[in-house]
Amino acid sequence: MEDSELIRRIGERRDEEAFRLLYARHTGPVYGLLCRLAGHSADASDLMQETWLRAVRHLGLFRGQSAFRTWLTGIALNCYREWRRKHARDLSVASDNHRPAQIQGAGAAAAPGSAADDLAAIGLALAALSPEHREVIVLHDIEGYTHDEIAEVLEIEAGTSKSRLSRARRAFRERWRGNA
């Protein structure tokens, strides 16, 4: 069943089964995005819950001009940005105290080449990026969004998405080379 039909059934009949299908279809990918952005599964779980609460509350505002997942991702990114602003001081202190040692250690751990070590090192290198760079690189290179979709989600121009991605990749390479 198409997302539009599920959304219609939820709006008209409060169809619980339609909601379960929509939830099952979109939670995994958006949760993965939030994990990569927030860095911790517990924080991502809280953000995912808030994302769905807002989505259900505002489902009547979804007009179908974009894919439902793009709309839901936009809500998730807004939740993440609010969370990041609320926790900015804590995140700054944690990164000052832990990031250099973690990245250095991760780079050394990545040398043997195990997939787990590589994933951990990538996660740490992503965490070292600015939020603006982390968002665009995760959306494009990991999640597979197009520049037009990123522009819609981040409320920027597609050209801005392209230039941010270029700068983000450069910053990622610098982090990777400096800590490998």
Mean pLDDT in the chain? 85
By C-alpha distance, which of 174, 95, 161 is closest to 133?
161
Query: What per-residue confidence (pLDDT) applies to 103?
Result: 33
In degrees, rounded to 5, the angle at the alpha carbon of residue 169 between the alpha carbons of residues 165 and 171 is 115
The predicted pLDDT at position 176 comes to 85
Tokens 């990245």 sit on residue: 103
Q: What is the mean pLDDT of residues 35-63?
A: 94
Q: What is the pLDDT of residues 28-46, one digit of tens each?
A: 999 999 999 998 899 999 9
Q: State pLDDT tens for residues 76-125.
A: 999 999 999 998 766 555 554 444 333 333 333 334 467 777 778 888 88
Output the pLDDT for position 115.
Answer: 77
Instruction: State how far the alpha carbon of 140 is from the alpha carbons of 130, 153, 175, in Å.
Output: 16, 12, 19
Question: pLDDT by residue (tens digit) across 10-22?
Answer: 999 999 999 999 9
| DSSP for residue 8 | H
**pLDDT value at residue 80:** 96
Q: Which fold has domain 89-180?
A: Arc Repressor Mutant, subunit A (1.10.10)
Domain ranges in the chain with CATH number 1.10.10.10:
89-180
Q: Which of 70, 75, 68, 48 is nearest to 5 (CA)?
A: 68
Please give the residue that has the higher pLDDT: either 4 or 122: 4
CATH 1.10.1740.10 given to domain 1-86: yes
CATH 1.10.1740.10 placement within the chain = 1-86
What is the band of 56 on the pLDDT scale with cuts at 50, 70, 90? very high
Look at residue 95 in the predicted model and tell me its pLDDT. Answer: 52
pTM of the model: 0.77
Question: How far is residue 141's CA from residue 127's CA, in Å, rounded to a whole number?
Answer: 15
Report pLDDT for 164. Answer: 96
Mean pLDDT throughout 123-137? Answer: 91
For the record, the structure tokens of 107 come out as 């780079």
Q: What is the pLDDT of residue 108?
A: 36
Single-letter residue type at 152: E
